[in-house]
Each structure stands twice: as structure tokens, then as C-alpha cells.
Structure 1
Amino acid sequence: MPSRNNSIEGKLPFGSPHTHFNGLGSDAAATLAMVAGDLALIIDDSGKIIDLTANPREFPEAQQWLGRDWLDTVSIESRAKVMEMLANARKGVTQHWRQVNQVTADGEVPVRFVVVRLGEGGGSIAFGRDMRDAAALQQRVLQAQQSLERDYLRLRQLEARYRMLFDQSVEPVLIVDAEAFRIREANRAAHQMFHARNGSLQGGKLTALFTKPAREHLIAFLGSALVSPGVMPIEAEVVDSTEPVMLSASGFRERGGQFLLIRLSGANSAVEQNSGATLRVIEEMPDAFVLTDARMIIQAANPAFVELVSAATADQLRGRPLGDFLGRPGIDLDLIDSQLAKHDIARNVSTVVGARDGFDGEPVELSAVRTNDDQPSYGFVIRPIGRRLRDLPATTDAPRSVEQLTDLVGRMSLRDIVRESTDLIERLCIEAALEYTSNNRASAAEILGLSRQSLYSKLHRYGLGNMVDSVDE
């Protein structure tokens, strides 16, 4: 590729070249030729390479070019450039840098050459500069540009899909600047809800769409939505409308600014009224309530549960496993999960809250339900039972049984006493497991680590096989 930046055309000439270069010897001239480029070729008038200088690490085949026509050492596409440069040198025409591909064992190497005439009958010298680093840089720049173009096209496609979904959504949606509460985007459904002309909501104040008594509560709600993703929706009264709307919001950042995605829906439909009443009842109920996903990750909790687990706010609990607060590790929640998977409900299960660091936890009783959605959720109602347990009379069956065993010393061998002790402990454990699982034999076998057949055999052995209200599934 021609380049005039490194030619002699237009450059200020030396003021007295004869003074400085008249005494230039062959050694000094050779040194200048060696430092002028990465490769220098001495070409005779017939176009043959009669001498050269090059770095053998960069051009290991250079010595093999001696005695060959320069045209034979370059690619076919570069031969016309070589012929033109040699012809211009013989005519004394000002030369410019031209890129030529030298053929090597590793492939074609791009080299920029300029040819200078050495004098009448002295041939010419071709100064070359290795362009491999520049070519690699250009390739990287090209790849980066292509990657940017692909990303830009992908973003344009995503933007087009977002715009189509945003405009065609039947749910009213607003995008609002979090600082000034000005509407940046509003879809068609939002314009229809506020009885506004398409495009007229953009740039307006969000608070102006609602009545004055509702604005202060609305601003506080939007501020909470910026710092907490789980704020419950609120009702707000719309200007010039007797029907309030249900408003939910979530914050996000874009280009260094904060914005709110606001979703609106009618609040006076029967379903929404019942839903709102249900949420208020759950918030106010004295028993603890917690909602989890199928992995028992907490999604929501009422104030009673927050107080039960000694947390500051419900936001601290959201996203954490329920097992961090409820149940004995590896027992209770696994049992509850298996019961919910089989029956979709679990009733009056005894467990503990806050069992950690050697503390046995506070006894509680819970009931749970599982929804049958594509992505099921679990709801837990939990109530403390510590006072109830303290009011129950203490049992004396176990101590009497132990005393009976110690009375056998002297009348039976130690082996027989150990066998009797084992049977007693086994029976007590089976009775405790059945009581814990509300006589669910399958669950009792699971927490005891027995197969169902083994449990049934032991039940008959200890006379427990006819216990009433037993459940196998």
C-alpha cells in the first residue's frame, strides 16, 4: 500500500549534504543501510539480489535469496509492485513505500519497501520494514470492530424485541426517573389507563397522575422500592377517576442513573380485593407465616415470623434458606419436604426454631402446604408451643423401665440385660418416631433409617402393629 509519510517527497532537504556526506565511506554507508530497515537488498540492473542484510531470526531464509531475481522471492500479487519500483529507480523517479509479500518457509511475510538508486551502473538498494506486528495489530483491530458490530446488531435486535413487548403488553407499565419522578417511557396500556393521548405521558411528572392525598405515600413507597426489591404493592387514587390502582415498583440503574419500573393494575376487581385482604390478614396474624420457593428459600415473611427468629426486618430474611432458622439439621425439613411432595400438606409437625451452637432451639409446631403450580411454592404457619409443653405432666415411664432393667442385675447375665436394654431403647425410639410423624409409618421408617418391612416387623415384635390411625403413605 503506497505511503507518502516516509518518502522524501515534500520533506525539507539537507542544507549542505556535500559537507556532511562527502566523506561517507563504505562502512558508514553499510551501517546506515543496516539501520534504515529490518531488511536491505542490493539489486543489480537486471533485478537480481547480489547482497543483503537481515536479522536471521526474523528472516532465516534470507541467505537463500542471494543470486535470485527479486521477483522470484515475492508472491505473485507483489511482482507488479517490484517491477514498478525497479523501473522507477532506474528512471530516477521519487519512490514511495510499497507493501510486498516476501515468500518464506513460514508463509508470506508483509514487508514495506522503498527502492533507492545507488548511482549509474551501481544498481539499487531496497530498504524493507517488517510489517508482521502491524498486520497482527490490524487483524486484532478488525476482529474487535467486527465483534463490536455484532454486539451492536444484537443490542439493536434486543431493543426492537423489548420495544415490541413493551408496547404490546396489556399490563400498564411506566419507566420513571428516580430523581425527579419524571416519566421516561409509557406503553399503550398505561396511556389507556390514564385516558391520555399516545405519547403524551412522556416527560410528565408521575405524581401529577395521582391525587394530592396519595402523593406523599406514593413518594415514600418509591423510595423504599429503590433500596428493597420486595416492597409490597400499594393502592393509589388516580386523578379524575373513582377507581384506585394497584402499583408495584422495582429499581434499576442505567447509564449512571437510577430508574423505576412501575407496573399498574386495577385494584377494585373482586380477585384483587380478596388478594389484598389476604395479604393484610397474613401481615397481622399472630402466628408466624413464611413463604418459600420449592428449594425452601424464603420469599416473604410476616412480622410474627421476623420476631420469632429475632431478625430486624423481613428484608434480612428474604433469599436465605428456611433451614437457617427452622428445624434440626438433616431431619425436620427433609421430613416435611417429603410429606409435602406426597400429600401437598403437613399438619401439626413438632420442630424447633433457632437450633444452633449447642442450643436446642425453641419448640414450635407448624403446618405447611404446597401449591401445584409449574413452579410450586411452600407456605408455613408456625406457632410456639414452649408454654404448652411446660404445662404437660412429666412422664415417668422411661425411668421405671430403666429401674426394672437395673433390678435384673444378679438374676440375669450381662448379655441378656444388654439385649433387654436394646429392645427397650428400640421400642421407645419407634414410639417416639410414630408420635413425631403423627403415626405415619413411611415417614417414621425414613427418619429411623429403616426399610418399611423392617419397621413393620419391629412393630409386630413389640406389639405396636395395631396402633390406631396409622398411615402408610
Structure 2
Amino acid sequence: MHAFRAPETSLGELDAEATASLIAAAADIALVVDGAGVIRDYAVNSEELSRELGGGDWFGRPWLDTVTEESRPKVEALIRDAAARAAPRWRHINQLAVPGGASVPILFSAVRLGKADRAVAFGRDLRGISALQQRLMDAQRSVERDYARLRQAETRYRLLFQMSPEPVLVLDAAGFKVQEVNPAAARLFGKDARRAIGRPFAEAFDAGSQAAVESLMSGVRAAGRADDVRARLLSDERPEVVVSASLFRQDDVVSVLVRLSPVPVARPGEPIALPKTKTKLLKLVEGVPDGFVVTGQDGRVLSANAAFLEMAQIAVEEQAVGESLERWFAPPGVELDVLMGSLRQRGAVRLFAATLQGEYGAATEVEISAVTVMNGGQPCFGFAIRDVGMRLPRPARGDAHAGGGRTPLRSVEQITELIGRVPLKDLVREATDVIERLCIEAALDLTSDNRASAAEMLGLSRQSLYVKLRRYGLGDLGAEDGGNGPAE
């Protein structure tokens, strides 16, 4: 504490009014009390604080009566120290406010006035600091509640992690080393949890499965998720499991959650059940106007939407489930074998032309796009089937072209579309007709439509050329050209 060195000369002669102004300016609230602690005068340096303290109700009242019960000993100590001219001390006093209002926190220090039996109590308004302290306490309680909830949640999930009968591991996304394992995973690896921590995850599998597991991990790190794979563990029993993995982030640390499931054993003839993530997709495509079918790797139907049932002339989906998709191809077997072979080699097929035949014989020209999807380590095939009968003319086939009314194909592309749909001998006949027609058209172009010269160029008699012109509908044949001579 540092006092004035020469207050008599530095402050000059101060009258009562100047002294009162100095006291009022030096504090938010100033009380003048006598030796008995009765308030003789007071000043408040704020209209808001004055209204909250109740105006001028303190004149002639003991200071003890204007404070809360717990603050009375502090007021008595202030008055006693001022009377003894002890060094001033600041004390936290809660002044009573207007009736029904809360108390106002004020920091008081009392100083005795000269030789008179009076003391001045200087007060500083602590409402702002008190509000900050209250907000700090509220924030601290909120943090404590959140922390308690977090600890409870962590305890619950830790308990689930430990008690789960399914092997679960947590890996670091950088090197795919094991960070945590539950007891089920530790037993499956044939070692305790402490020996598994820090080891590369791929070491738990045999040499034939490590490449698939590493590919799965790389796909998860790149895209967040990847299709499940089947792998065989490097343990005494060497069980085969389905490995599922997903990426998650916690406190700016990226980790991989791995789940190992036993390979489902399907009964003979029983269709493979799709997981929930795949059934959602089936629900979305149920209402599309194009047919949509999901089959197993054996080509048997797992699910089909309403549009396909209409094409296949089936009333309910149960009639299609378990049946081979080739049942509705015309001719049976050929087109489906070609389609399935392409799917197994390339994983996807686009705009495959085929004919779909319903239960009651109705044939529909369709375009098929298909894709392979892994399900539990096994492939499933999805087929999108679009009716193009109204858009494309039906290609003529086989014996329907025989005779004078035959309409030959116009391009090699149309013949290519028939591969796998008609027998080879019919394809050869169709290709021969196309080549023959193209040669006749070229000869007519080279001879400027001189048919005699064109016949000689082609090595045909004129009569044979006229027969072929009529067969293919080429040129404007008059009655004189339509002789009935023998054709070559």
C-alpha cells in the first residue's frame, strides 16, 4: 500500500462538498456510517444500481439491517477496523435489494474520517464479475455433465465391444496395424489381445487370402467403404470368414473398424439372402418402369420388380424366386450363357440385346444391362431389362425369310446382334444373303444400272440376276425382266 506523501499540500483545502464529490466519484456506492454502524448518508454512482438497491430507504438505518445474514459479520469487521484505524481491507458484502429482489454483491472497504466518529465505506459493484462467475460455473457444470455422459457412453460401448460374440478389431488407417481387439477376435486369432496389438492385420490370414484383405483395406482407406471379402485365418482351425471394414474418424485420427463374420452356409437349392443394404436398393427399383432382377451366381432369381413380372407374365414374385432366369429367354440357355460369361469376365454388361418370352408365349425384344455385386464374399448379379419392342423393328430370323417374300438383313451390325440368339447355320445364311446383296448393289453402281453388264461382271446369267433383284427388292423390274428362266 502506498499513501499520499503530503496530502495537506497536494490536495489543498477541500470543503465538504468537494470531499463528497471525490468520495462519490471514487466508488460505485459510498456509505457514511457513525461509530454505531448507522447509515448517516450515502451516494450511488449509477441510476440502475440505485433502483435495484431500493432508493433512499437507508437513511438512519443500521448498516447491518441492509445486508444479508451471512454478510453481517463482515460489516461488523469493517466498522471495527475503521474505528481502530486499521489498514483497510476489502470484503464481499451482499446488499439487500428492493423487496422480492435478489441481493447485490458489492466489494466494500471502510476508512475513518479524521477525528470525527464517522467512517466512509467505499463499494465496488460486483454484478458483472458475479455474472461472469455464474456463467463460468454453469459452463463448468455443463462440461461435467457432458463428460459424465461421454464416460457412460464409452463404458456402455466398451462393454458391448468386449461382450460381442462377433470378432471386432480397430486398426489404424495408416499402416492397418491392430489397435484394439475384443476377446472374440483374440480367440479367433489364437493369441491373447496383448500379443495382437501393434501387429499388421493381414498377418492373421493365410498367404492365399492376404492379397484380398490388403485390397479391401486399400479400398476402405480410399473410399471409406468397400465390398466384403472372404478370407481364411492363419490359425490351427483355419476358419473361413467374411471380412467387413468401414472408416471412422475420432479426434482427428482416422481408424478402421473391422468385423469378421462366419461364412454363411447355404442349403442346397436355397436362394442366397441379401443383406439389408441390398434390400433397400430393391425397394427403390420396385416402382421403375424397366424390369429389374437380382440373381445368385447360379442365375436363379432372388428378387424381381413388378415390371419384370409383367414382361414374364407372372402374377406374384414368389413364382419367379428360385427359378433360373434362362426360363424366360428365347431361345433358352444360349443368350443367358453368353450374358453370364461376360458378367464373370468383365463385371458389367451394357445394352445386351435379347428376347424375353413370357409364360403365355408373349415375346418382348429387350436390352439388358447387368452388373456384378459382391454379397458376403459371393457374387450376385443385377439385371436391368428395358422393353425396346416399340423402338426397334424385330429382326427377321431363320425360315421366316424363305421364299420370294424374304426380307434380308441390311447390315453386318444386325447380324452381330443375333450372335448367341440363333443357330450358326442361320447366321451363315443371313451373312451370305447380306454379302450377295451388297455385291449386286456394287455391280449395279459400277455399271450405271446396266443389268446385262452387271450380270456379266458377277458371272451370272441375266435371268439369274433378275431373280435375285426381285428377291432383294432392288431396282424397278418391269414385266419383261421377270422371266421364268432357270436361276443359277
Tell me, yes or no, whether TM beats 0.5. yes
Alpha carbons 1:291, 1:298 under 8 Å: kept? no
Distance 1:305 1:118, change over 3 A: farther
Indicate which of 148, 169, 178 corresponds to 1:153: 148
SS of residue paired to 2:175: coil
How far apart in 1 are the matches of 2:178 and 2:106?
59
Q: Match of 1:123?
A: 118
Indicate which of 371, 385, 403 corresponds to 2:387: 385
How far apart in 1 are the matches of 2:180 and 2:88?
61
Deviation readout 1:269-319 (Å, 9 max, x if unpaired): 5239999x959xx9xxxxxxx9443993479xxxx989xxxxxxxxxxxxx
Count of residue pairs brought into register by the alignment: 315
Q: CA deviation at 1:388?
A: 7.6
Deviation readout 1:337-364 (Å, 9 max, x if unpaired): xxx9x9666979xxxxxxxxxxxxxx97
Q: Match of 1:452?
A: none
The alignment's TM-score, normalised by the length of structure 1, stands at 0.57
Alpha carbons 1:235, 1:246 under 8 Å: kept? yes
Q: Match of 1:44?
A: 34
Distance 1:184 1:52, change over 3 A: same
Q: Match of 2:61?
A: 68
**CA-atom RMSD in angstroms:** 4.1
Q: Match of 2:239?
A: 243
* Residues 216-365 of structure 1: pairs in structure 2 closer than 5 A: 216-228=211-223, 231-241=226-236, 242-267=238-263, 270-271=265-266, 291-293=278-280, 296-297=283-284
Q: Which amino acid aligns with 2:280?
A: D
Deviation readout 1:38-94 (Å, 9 max, x if unpaired): 101111223222222112221122322122221222223322221221111101122
Q: Match of 2:47?
A: 56
Alpha carbons 1:56, 1:62 under 8 Å: kept? no
Flag structure 2 segments of 5+ consecutive residues without an equivalent: 294-304, 322-364, 369-380, 396-488
Alpha carbons 2:285, 2:292 under 8 Å: kept? no
Q: CA deviation at 1:249?
A: 0.3
How far apart in 1 are the matches of 2:253 and 2:268?
35
* Residues 376-455 of structure 1: pairs in structure 2 closer than 5 A: 382-387=384-389, 390-391=392-393
Deviation readout 1:443-465 (Å, 9 max, x if unpaired): xxxxxxxxxxxxxxxxxxxxxxx
Q: CA deviation at 1:117?
A: 0.9
Q: Which amino acid aligns with 1:59?
A: S
1:215 is aligned to 2:206 = no
Q: Match of 1:35?
A: 25
Distance 1:227 1:272, change over 3 A: farther
Alpha carbons 1:99, 1:110 under 8 Å: kept? yes
How far apart in 2 are the matches of 1:253 and 1:272?
40
Distance 1:272 1:148, change over 3 A: farther
Indicate which of 135, 140, 154 corresponds to 1:140: 135
How far apart in 2 are the matches of 1:271 and 1:262?
24
Q: CA deviation at 1:205?
A: 1.7
Distance 1:278 1:346, change over 3 A: closer
How far apart in 2 are the matches of 1:343 and 1:116?
99
SS of residue paired to 1:236: strand
SS of residue paired to 1:161: helix
Alpha carbons 2:167, 2:182 under 8 Å: kept? yes
Deviation readout 1:128-171 (Å, 9 max, x if unpaired): 11122222222111111111111111111111111111111110
Q: CA deviation at 1:99?
A: 1.5
Q: CA deviation at 1:261?
A: 0.5
Which of these two proteins has the greater Rg computed from alpha carbons? 2
The alignment's TM-score, normalised by the length of structure 2, stands at 0.56
How far apart in 2 are the matches of 1:48 and 1:64?
13
Q: CA deviation at 1:365?
A: 9.9
SS of residue paired to 2:257: strand
Alpha carbons 1:40, 1:52 under 8 Å: kept? yes
Alpha carbons 1:291, 1:380 under 8 Å: kept? no
How far apart in 2 are the matches of 1:21 and 1:84?
30
Distance 1:124 1:344, change over 3 A: farther
Q: Pick which of 147-156 and 240-249 moved more.
A: 240-249
Distance 1:220 1:87, change over 3 A: same
SS of residue paired to 2:143: helix
Q: Pick which of 39-48 and 161-170 moved more.
A: 39-48
Q: Which amino acid aligns with 1:293?
A: K
* Residues 85-104 of structure 1: pairs in structure 2 closer than 5 A: 85-104=78-97
Q: CA deviation at 1:217?
A: 3.2
Deviation readout 1:414-451 (Å, 9 max, x if unpaired): xxxxxxxxxxxxxxxxxxxxxxxxxxxxxxxxxxxxxx
Alpha carbons 1:176, 1:260 under 8 Å: kept? yes
Q: Which amino acid aligns with 1:104?
A: A
How far apart in 2 are the matches of 1:232 and 1:203?
25
Q: Match of 2:185?
A: 190
Q: Which amino acid aligns with 2:266?
A: V
Q: Which amino acid aligns with 2:88?
A: Q
SS of residue paired to 1:104: coil
Alpha carbons 1:292, 1:298 under 8 Å: kept? no
Q: CA deviation at 1:181?
A: 1.1
How far apart in 1 are the matches of 2:214 and 2:18?
83
Q: CA deviation at 1:28?
A: 4.7
